[in-house]
Amino acid sequence: MKKIKVKYTIKNSENEITNFETIGTYDEEKREICYLEQDLEVKLNIQENKLKMIRKTDDYSIDFDFELNVVTKNKYELKSLGIYVDIEVETKRLVINENSINLKYTLINDDQQIGDFEYDLYWE
């Protein structure tokens, strides 16, 4: 595993933009990036035309599976309440390059659109 510099931008439906930069790790064999975003652990597993993202804190855990033009079923766990919420993800764009990922997706719950998001991640 090697240390990497991670930079990303997330843009939501309301055009609110979050920029973040940190140090993380990259396991080339597993094609896995891990980093800490304040108290949030993020793990990205890069697969052929797919991306798995796990975001977790002490309070919640979200597992996302992204696959271009596919709606995937995912879990959102509220740990303190012991509640699991089903969330669907519609991946509208997924571009994986040697040191970057561009992702655009929509979150859906109970057939209602929760929001659109665009995620750009770079590492070096």
Could you report the per-residue pLDDT of 57-99, keeping only the tens digit for each? 999 999 999 999 999 999 999 988 889 999 999 999 999 998 9
pLDDT at 38: 85
Q: What is the pTM of this model?
A: 0.90
**Total structural domains in the chain?**
1
CATH number at residue 26: 2.40.128.20
Range of the domain at 117: 2-123
Strands, E assignment, 15-111 = 17-27, 32-37, 40-47, 50-56, 60-67, 71-78, 83-96, 100-109
